[in-house]
Amino acid sequence: MEIKELQERVDAWIREYGVRYFSELTNMACLTEEVGELARVMARRYGDQSFKKGEKENLADEMADVLWVLVCLANQTGV
């Protein structure tokens, strides 16, 4: 899949199921939050920290969240 197709699919999903895009600044804050969540998993899986009891190793989910918000920002800014 090309990035353009991914952007089109995200845009179609937002138009069908979402109300609208969040503002660019809100999405930038969301991206920062999602990168932090990814960093937490990476630090526990590959770094010196360990998972707490009941904490899930959801590396793929966190990467998908980062990609989703990044694609939304690209769509909003015409990239």
What are the extents of the domains in the chain?
3-77
Residue 46: how many other CB atoms lie within 10 Å: 9
In this predicted structure, what is the pLDDT of residue 12? 96
- Residue 69 binned pLDDT confidence (cut-offs 50, 70, 90): very high
In this predicted structure, what is the pLDDT of residue 54? 84
State pTM to two decimals.
0.90
In this predicted structure, what is the pLDDT of residue 39? 97
Tens digits of per-residue pLDDT, 17-56? 988 999 999 999 999 999 999 999 999 999 998 988 888 8
Cα distance between residue 59 and residue 66, in whole Å: 11
Cβ proximity of 25 and 77 under 8 Å: no
CATH architecture of 3-77: Orthogonal Bundle (1.10)
In this predicted structure, what is the pLDDT of residue 19? 82
